[in-house]
């Protein structure tokens, strides 16, 4: 199973439609605390196993990093763990905060 790409406009549409999605942020805790996508979860080596065990694998999972590079390998890893609908957010948080600032905190 492989991941797919999602651009900020597509993610915004899913959020606005109230779709049951999971957004995970793999940036460092300081960057996450300074600003993140509303409703996103910080995912790290410390909690990834718990996330895999406790998250519904049928729900779409969108992985966010700084610029959309690291999220690709994380999304692929999650797809290999059985998540059926996994995405890497194109442009990462840097693009997200310019395109969709109303969904940042």
Is 100 annotated in the active site? no
The single residue of 64, 65, 100, 104 carrying the catalytic annotation is 65
The closest of 53, 45, 51 to 28, measured between CA atoms, is 45
The closest of 85, 76, 77, 87 to 57, measured between CA atoms, is 85
3-state SS, residue 104: strand
Task: Tell me the catalytic residues.
Answer: 65
């Amino acid at each position: 199973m492989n991941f797919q790409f999602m651009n900020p406009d597509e993610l915004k549409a899913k959020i606005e439609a109230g779709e049951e999605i999971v957004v995970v942020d793999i940036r460092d805790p300081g960057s996450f605390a300074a600003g993140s996508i509303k409703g996103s979860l910080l995912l790290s080596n410390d909690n990834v196993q718990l996330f895999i065990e406790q998250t519904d694998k049928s729900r779409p999972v969108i992985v966010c990093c700084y610029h959309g590079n690291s999220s690709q390998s994380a999304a692929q890893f999650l797809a290999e763990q059985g998540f059926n609908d996994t995405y890497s957010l194109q442009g990462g948080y840097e693009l997200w905060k310019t395109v969709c600032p109303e969904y940042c905190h």
